[in-house]
Structure 1
Amino acid sequence: MTPAELSQAVLSAVRAAVEAGELTVAVPEQVTVERPKNKDHGDYATNVALQLAKSAGKPPRQVAELVSARLAKVPGVAGVDIAGPGFLNITLDAATQGGLARTVVEAGEAYGRNDAFQGLKINLEFVSANPTGPIHIGGVRWAAVGDSLGRILRAGGAEVTTEYYINDAGVQISKFGASLHASANGWPVPEDGYVGEYIGDIAKQIVDAHPGVLDLPDAEQLEVFRAEGLKLMVAEIQRSMEEFGVHFDVWFSEKSLHDSGAVEKAIERLRAQGHVFDQDGAIWLRTTDFGDDKDRVLVKADGDTTYFASDAAYYLSKRDRGNEVNVYMLGADHHGYVGRLKAIVACAGDDPERNIEVLIGQFVKMLKDGEEVRMSKRAGNIITIDDVVDWIGVDAARYSLARSSTDSTLTLDIDVLTSQSNENPVYYVQYAHARMSSVARNAAQLGIDKGAAADFKPELLATEWESELLGMVGEFPRVVAAAGELREPHRVARYLEQLAGTYHRFYDNCRILPRGDEEATDLTRARLWLAEATRTVIANGLGLLGVSAPERM
């Protein structure tokens, strides 16, 4: 029995009490059943009686008694105890709990998927670094977290579009082009220009591809370096993202908003909503009506549009493409954008609590030999995605960047993340998967098969270590659903580490394969089912994080 099935059994018990006239309450759509921390409190616990007591007009323990009497009759439930103010502690019989191993193995890659977001169209925008240099360490964190979140939301049934917003309009692109122009001509870098070996590399590529470019007038040279440099930098970012295992469904050009007239149309749409006004020769959006700290300029007095106007047009573009929920994943230095983006949504007539979510990620530091690493030779004063991959590899980078809440600053120790030890979290989880794969290979070499599902005897999985492992395996769907609902992929990683530890304890205390001349037994085969179920969950969880599940290490 899965936790979801047990939850339905609890609901059925509540519904039966209501139909019998013993409870006068609205039957909730769902109830929570959780693994208690204390093993003496049964296999699962629910607070449904406390949840219903007030509306039922009865003490929680009296409600608990009505529910427990029916729940105890459910096949597979060995006992129901009432604890404290009215908690129900539920114990399953060994066969029912052990049957979860068969459920997981038969579900395979589908185990852990849910329908929490079925039919919901979500636009997930992340990284979106200016195409003026390689992706830096902050962007790498969002690449790992954003891609993992997209996978988790899809596992919940959502229709997810992952998107990269290319800031290819404005002053930063002009400075980038000027830096390339100067490098190609051997001139000093312009004030506030870009430095690093990559500038020289790109400038040389442009000169090689356009041999006569340096003979053109300066203004024409500058435009060639700006346009061609932008193409090369975007291609470089796309390469690094793909090599990091991150695929974007849409690469959206800011410049296209201006070229298509979308910015002007957005301003007129917002004016029609009654929130645009003219003052001092400029065009403004009255965002203070919706909690922003000040009104925002859309078009300056000199006729130039602002970045804010592009932001408004970009949001409307996302909505016009049918995206119901639009998630923006921004760095810590963009905290001030939250209020203004929500104000755009409200000015457009949408719900800022429903149609937009802005997630802010904190900074990342890297340590080597106990010292912070600050510089990249190729990029100058930043650590790039290629640096991170060179130092610790894609799997370690993706896992370690996704395993912590983005609310906190993250410190990665290169020495730990390249070690083959239990201190290295990705190694710890991957090693558990490899260990399970080894068990399967060794069983095959001994001519032992776990057998058909019909011959599986789940009641034999009765030790405390088997029970603990089955309980952890059963938690996976709930963890995935919570990670999607809360937009917190790190919950999956932390769960996998707990599951790996639980498996290692099971493996150390429960011999799976026979030794010497011993014959394989039904217990042998039952434990093979359990090991295969655990391996399935580890693989599925790593897959949600975009991390490989090696069979050998």
Structure 2
Amino acid sequence: MTPADLSRTVLHAVHRAVAENALRAPVPARVRVERTRPGGSGDFACAVALQLAGDAGLPALEVARILRERVAAEPGIGRVEITGPGFLSFTLDAPGDSDRALLDAVREQGSAYGHGGALRDEVLRFHHPREVRAAVTADAVRRVVLSQGARVRISCEEAGEAGEAVEAEWGLLGVTVDAYGTPPVTSPADPSAPLIPVRPVPAGATARELLERLGADATRWGLLRPASHDRAPLGDDLLVQGEANPLFLVRYAHARARALPRGAAALGFTSESDAAPAPYEAASDAALYESPARPLLDLLADHPRVLLAAARRRAPDRVARQLEAVAHAFFDFHASCPPLPSGDEKPSAAHRSRLALAEAAGTVLAGGLSLLGISAPAHL
């Protein structure tokens, strides 16, 4: 991590603290970090807490504590200390440490990697018309905001005479509705939870028509992949078994990532093989710390931020685009740095490191598809 990277990381932490209402102060245009002076603590120091304290109406030490908890978990940051009247001192990870920590986090958290509690104090009430794209979008928004800790309730306009049939078709798409009819704009039980309309451009087809032609998974992807203000392309290309179809690309990348550990087991090794002193040990393995694995590692590290942004913007299309990017980066990595040995080549620490990265990519793809309500088969 360079000083410029660290400066952007701290500035991002300030943005997060302000967005989460933990800090009420204008966000500076840039944050300055400097090399720690001889005898000081850490590698770099920053006085941003002292800079923000006056506008925030808080002691600099309290501002520093707010920022420290938002910076400490960022990739590349080994340790964050508060020194003096409110300076933040940073000790950076050794090359490769943050990558191994990232893969450990994905392994430990599984499909919940990227979930968090940033919205845990929010009660969100969504209301949508009786139309299939609106219903699917509201359902996906529910899944995404729940992943960030919010409490959610969804209502739909009156079902009408064909309500039960429509509900059954929506159920096949994984959609549930908590209540029908238009509730009050503000809830008497919680005036701070206004009604939030969900009104994407209509699909132009019924749930039954889409299910019969595309099936549930392709229907949901087709409805959710475009931004809600754009028309949803719902052609038969959603069923094409080729890389030109983004849904197939994402699911195929997941299936391939899941197949690699099976292939490794057949060769007698895993990403946690006893032959390696620690998982992912291969500090000299450029495949993990340099191109072409770097784009994939960066996308995995950015996944929590993408999920939080999708939740705040009520935009499940951001999750879909993130999965496409991960799938492309996975195949680029796989082509350049195969996780499995070939021919007479013996499994090495480098292969274990690559396999761990491939497994992490598969986990992130599965978790993202789940948030979109789409299945992630292990075989395609």
TM-score tier, shorter chain, comes to 0.7 to 0.9
The residue type equivalent to 2:253 in the other structure is A
CA deviations over 1:153-181 (Å, ceiling 9, x no partner): 0001001122233255xxxxxxxxxxxxx
Work out whether 1:118 is the aligned partner of 2:124: no
Equivalent of 2:230 in 408, 411, 422: 408
Equivalent of 1:503 in 317, 330, 333: 330
Q: Structure 1 length normalisation: TM-score? A: 0.52
The 5 A counterparts of 1:67-466 are 71=90, 74-76=91-93, 93-126=95-128, 128-129=129-130, 139-166=131-158, 168=160, 230=161, 233-248=162-177, 250-252=178-180, 254=181, 314-315=183-184, 319-322=187-190, 324-325=192-193, 355-364=194-203, 383-414=205-236, 416-451=237-272, 455-456=278-279, 457=281, 459=283, 460=285, 461-466=288-293
CA deviations over 1:96-121 (Å, ceiling 9, x no partner): 23431121111112211021210322
Secondary structure in 1 aligned to 2:298? helix
CA deviations over 1:202-243 (Å, ceiling 9, x no partner): xxxxxxxxxxxxxxxxxxxxxxxxxxxx3xx22212211111
The residue type equivalent to 2:257 in the other structure is M
Equivalent of 1:530 in 357, 362, 372: 357
Q: Which residue is 1:520 aligned to? A: 347
The residue type equivalent to 1:532 in the other structure is E
**Cα distance in 1, alignment partners of residues 155 and 198 from structure 2:** 15
Q: Structure 2 length normalisation: TM-score? A: 0.75
**Cα distance in 2, alignment partners of residues 113 and 542 from structure 1:** 14
**Cα distance in 1, alignment partners of residues 137 and 282 from structure 2:** 37
Secondary structure in 1 aligned to 2:155? strand
Secondary structure in 1 aligned to 2:300? helix
Secondary structure in 1 aligned to 2:350? helix
The 5 A counterparts of 1:476-491 are 476-491=303-318
Secondary structure in 2 aligned to 1:412? coil
The residue type equivalent to 1:496 in the other structure is L
Deviation, structure 1 residue 8: 6.4
**Cα distance in 1, alignment partners of residues 165 and 13 from structure 2:** 54
**Cα distance in 1, alignment partners of residues 219 and 358 from structure 2:** 27
**Cα distance in 2, alignment partners of residues 357 and 11 from structure 1:** 28
Secondary structure in 1 aligned to 2:289? coil
Secondary structure in 1 aligned to 2:261? helix
**Cα distance in 2, alignment partners of residues 244 and 408 from structure 1:** 21
Deviation, structure 1 residue 389: 1.2
Structure 1: runs of 5+ lacking an equivalent: 34-42, 45-65, 78-92, 130-138, 169-229, 255-310, 326-354, 366-382
**Cα distance in 1, alignment partners of residues 209 and 269 from structure 2:** 46
Q: Which residue is 1:494 aligned to? A: 321
**Cα distance in 2, alignment partners of residues 449 and 17 from structure 1:** 42
Whichever of the two has the greater Rg, that structure is 1
Identity %: 29
Q: Which residue is 1:50 aligned to? A: none
**Cα distance in 1, alignment partners of residues 209 and 159 from structure 2:** 23
Q: Is the 8 A contact 2:255 2:377 kept in 1?
A: yes
The residue type equivalent to 1:247 in the other structure is T
Q: Is the 8 A contact 1:148 1:546 kept in 2?
A: yes
The residue type equivalent to 2:312 in the other structure is E
Deviation, structure 1 residue 465: 1.4
Q: Is the 8 A contact 2:249 2:324 kept in 1?
A: yes
Secondary structure in 1 aligned to 2:187? helix
CA-atom RMSD in angstroms: 3.3
The residue type equivalent to 2:113 in the other structure is Y
CA deviations over 1:512-545 (Å, ceiling 9, x no partner): 1112333211111111111111111001110110
Equivalent of 2:47 in 7, 11, 18: 18
Q: Which residue is 2:39 aligned to? A: none
